[in-house]
Structure 1
Amino acid sequence: MTCMIMALRPVDRVRQDAEPIAAMYREMGTKAAEQIVNRAFAELAMTIAALSHQVRMRDRAEIPRRLRRLQRMCENLGMVSLGLVAADARGAVELGDMTAFAAIWARLLRVAERSLASDKELLDLSL
């Protein structure tokens, strides 16, 4: 009997709403909006890095609060998919379902990577 192993490569569809960032550019002007958006993306990356550290350390105390913060940041930047996945991850932690959290966490990292890459392209187009 032959055993075949197949590698699965999940592909998550990333939804984004360009309007929040476009509104910042319209209201503040290019230079001010660019600074704020770049700062927001840096803060988003730091939040994800802090969450990653907490997950690796299995420090569950602050994870729900940080996930809520991530969710709000995503909403403000129009990162629809990433915000929804952050909410799902927070729900799993709050329920104590760490198996579900592990799966959702992996999805969050994939969506974050794709979202941040897409937002760089979006910013390049808006300049």
Structure 2
Amino acid sequence: MNKITALRPREVVRQDAEPIAAIYRNLGAPTAEQMVTRALGELALTMAGIAAQVKAHDLADLARQLTRLRRMAENLGLTSLGAVSDDVRICLERSDNTAFAAVWARLLRVAERSIAHEEGVVDLSV
């Protein structure tokens, strides 16, 4: 009975390569690579800004920022990140603090995995 097991949730990150592939087809590799890299950087900055808002308990504009994050993620084919950001927004709008905390933790895990694999996202589309 004294055995403690640490749970380490691992999120499976779903991606759709088609949005990035379309960017590459339409713009050509050099321009598309710059555009995708810039978009991923903006996505990472947006996520960092949202994290700072949550840490500061500044929830006034958070729903709008989460909607923006969802759109950015979907434009890059990061389907898991878009879906979970929408789930966080729903918890926020329902004022469900317990669900918000749980889904927020999941969003952090999904965002970390999505952004950490940004090179893989770019490579999938070529």
Amino acid at match of 2:49: A
How far did 1:57 drift?
0.5
* Structure 2: distance between partners of 1:119 and 1:45: 10
Is 1:38 the counterpart of 2:37? The answer is yes
* Structure 2: distance between partners of 1:100 and 1:4: 28
* Structure 2: distance between partners of 1:55 and 1:71: 17
How far did 1:4 drift?
2.5
Structure 2, unaligned runs of 5 or more: none
Contact 2:84–2:103 (Cα < 8 Å) also in 1: yes
Amino acid at match of 2:51: S
RCO comparison, higher one (Cα < 8 Å, 6+): 2
- The alignment-based identity, stated in percent, is 56
Q: Match for residue 28 of structure 2?
A: 29
Q: For residues 5-16 of structure 1, what are the structure 2 equivalents within 5 Å?
A: 5-16=4-15
Amino acid at match of 1:61: A
Q: CA RMSD in A?
A: 1.3
Size of the aligned set, in residue pairs, is 126
Q: Match for residue 119 of structure 1?
A: 118
Q: Match for residue 82 of structure 1?
A: 81
SS of residue matched to 1:10:
coil
Structure 1, unaligned runs of 5 or more: none
Q: Match for residue 17 of structure 1?
A: 16
* Structure 2: distance between partners of 1:62 and 1:115: 24
Task: Give me the TM-score of the superposition, normalised by structure 1.
Answer: 0.93
* Structure 2: distance between partners of 1:42 and 1:118: 13
How far did 1:117 drift?
2.5
How far did 1:126 drift?
4.9
- List structure 1 runs of 4+ shifted beyond 3 angstroms: 124-127
Q: Match for residue 56 of structure 2?
A: 57
* Structure 1: distance between partners of 2:116 and 2:57: 28
